Amino acid sequence: MADSVVLTVRPCGTTDKEVTEGGRVRGTRIAAPRERTRRPLLPVAPAAATCLVALSVFSTQSFSQTAAPTAPAASAATPGGLHCTGAAVRKNVPVDKDPLNGQKDPFVGPLSGSDLPRDVLRSSVANRDLIFSVGLPCQESVNTSGQEVDEVLKQPIGLDNLQRGFDFYSWRTFIALNAPADGTPIEQAQAGAPTLWEDMNSFKQLLDVMLPADQLPPKWPTDRAGMEAERERLVPQECSALHRQFPQRMIVKMIEESFNEPFKTGPLIDQHGHYAIFDILMNRQMFNYIMANHLNTKAGQAANTTLSVDFPAGLNAKGELGAFMLKVSWRILSPGEVQAKNFHMVDALVLTPPPATQRCLKETLGLVGFHAVHKTVSRPQWIWTSFEHVQNVPARDEVTAHKLRGPYSFFSVNCKGDCAENATPPTPWDPDPALELRFRSDDSFKSQIVRETPLTNAAKNMNAIFQSMLSNSVWKNYMLISTQWPSAFSCTSQQAKSPGSPDPKTDFFKQPDMTCSPAPTFLANSTLETYSQGDVPLASSSCIACHSNAVSFQESASNPQPGRPNLNQSDFTYMLEKAK
């Protein structure tokens, strides 16, 4: 392995060595029947937790051993679902005199300044079709070298170039997952166009995996008829009548975590007085691992005492997609908002949460938050991508400067009376079935949320590039908040040494920090980690740090094998805690 290079937030000497090669996933685009413009899918699942953390030194090393020397063809190793390709965005790059200094994105010019250079937008137009066609990355492709350069020392700023690479990865991920499932180019996607990630062949909802004990185990057939049959089997009785009338609507099953944010910090209430709704999904790789190891039930987890949970990881060299989680947030749209078509929309049947009398509501939902989380061989702590709708909330500096651009979904520009910012709602929090997901009958409380951690200039400029390429699409209304990734490369490369450890051999004994120094230190989506925003260690939201605490229902082995430690951990996901 190459020697590590210490990086700090400011200038550092770096090499031109690549950190890792990247790959893309080509999604299978499948046309599906629609009611209006919607296809079948989804029940809603619990909100993933967030919290804590620390960021220390940044170290880098070459991961050329994980990279394919040439891009492999699209893989068909996994039947159904999404597939990987190793195709690079930048092709035929000069080996000796690269004008972009080893940078993985094709944009000409730095992004970390307050202004976006014109050359950057010109290069984005020239490369739009290529960027939109390569598909979903199956492994990040980043480099310490690039166009983010210290103007005094004239040296690459390693951390800034790496963050730029991860943010480019995140936008490519967002583009690929939200491409219309019927093959329409994403730059033409309209508000109601079903996306690739919503297709039942791509992702499966958590609550369709962690089923009650009195139901048969979940299945995920690879044929369309089999998937439709499984969906029909899982339709809630309360929604059966509406489902027969509107068979193409997404079915959203709510539990407490579908409206109550992580660590039971409270619900998020929009400016129409409705609850925000949260959902969690997994891809086939994650589902197959759960089922193969009997992790879909408490009993199965408890009996599996020798298993160190280690989900499959994406690898460019083999054209493989790793385990992938999605967490999305929706809000109920008014008739006027439906007509305005500024949100990606789904027609849904929403099953209100227990234990109160459940109701099935016919609603149109608008996408307001989007977490995409992918495990790769070179980032076994996963890569955490977060997007939001641009009109969710104002930033703190905008509120302070009175430069508001409402209306917002979760902030009132003209609020009168009690306008406490980022305040949790008054109790009780459980939805009243009679109010049909309105928080209060008199609409006496509506959230007044402000974004506490500002977007960096680099993130704003990356957003401006992609939004310009999506100017005729509903997706121009979405923005990247940031990408969090484990930054200590010498840490992320460690593999388990326990006898018989299966691939990908993730090492969960990294000391002193199994999170491998998340960068940036804190990351919060205003709709998914509303009440844990900020930069307070051990209190503010950090995806990797918090999810490193996730556990399962595994029990310690009565006769542990020598040299093989038992770890009650669930590989950075809280999904296993929802087993029944």
What does the pLDDT read at residue 390?
Answer: 98
Q: Which pLDDT score, from 0 to 100, does residue 64 have?
A: 26
Find the angle CA(359)-CA(243)-CA(336) to the nearest 5 degrees: 75
User: How confident is the model over 328-341, as pLDDT tens digits?
Assistant: 999 999 999 999 99
pLDDT band at residue 77 under the 50/70/90 scheme: very low
Q: What is the pLDDT of residues 476-489, one digit of tens each?
A: 999 999 999 999 88
- pTM here is 0.85
Q: On the CB side of 119, how many CA atoms lie within 13 Å of its CA?
A: 8
Whole-number Å distance between alpha carbons of 250 and 520: 35
- Which pLDDT score, from 0 to 100, does residue 449 have? 98
The residues, any chain, with a CB within 8 Å of residue 285's CB and separated by 6 or more, are: 78, 81, 311, 312, 321, 322, 323, 324
Task: Render pLDDT for 280-307 as a digit per residue (tens, 0 to 9).
Answer: 999 999 999 999 999 999 999 999 887 8
- Most confident by average pLDDT, 85-89, 428-432, 504-508: 428-432
- Can you give the pLDDT at residue 499? 56
**Is the pLDDT confidence value at 97 over 80?**
yes
Which has more pLDDT, 245 or 534?
Answer: 245
Written as one string, the DSSP assignment of 153-189 is T--B-HHHHHHHHHHHHHHHHHHHHHSBTTS--GGG-
Q: Give the lowest-confidence range in 4-8, 16-20, 410-414.
A: 4-8
* Averaged pLDDT of the chain: 83
Give the pLDDT score at 88.
83
**299 CB-near residues (< 8 Å, 6+ apart):** none
Q: pLDDT band for position 567 (50/70/90)?
A: low
Where b means 16+ CB within 10 Å and e means fewer, 341-355 reads ebbbbbbbbbbbbee
**pLDDT for the residue 209:** 98
Closest by CA to 171, choosing from 462, 391, 390, is 462
How much is the average pLDDT of 442-470? 96
Residue 494 CB burial class (10 angstroms; 0-12, 13-18, ≥19): middle
pLDDT in tens, 232-272: 999 999 999 999 999 999 999 999 999 999 989 999 999 99
Among 132-141, 218-227, 325-334, 358-367, the minimum mean pLDDT is found in 132-141
CA nearest to 164, candidates 456, 380, 503, 477:
456
> Which residue's structure tokens are 């039930």?
297
Mean pLDDT on 391-397:
97
Using omega within 30 degrees of 0 as the cis cutoff, is the peptide bond preceding 426 cis? no
Encoded tokens for 56: 């220390």
Contact between 305 and 554 under an 8 Å Cβ cutoff? The reply is yes
Strand partners, 367: 330
> How many other CB atoms are there within 10 angstroms of residue 259's CB atom?
24
Question: How do residues 13-49 score in pLDDT, each as one tens digit?
Answer: 333 333 333 333 333 333 333 333 333 443 333 333 3
What pLDDT shows up at residue 30?
33
Q: How long is the chain?
A: 580
Q: Which amino acid is at 21?
A: E
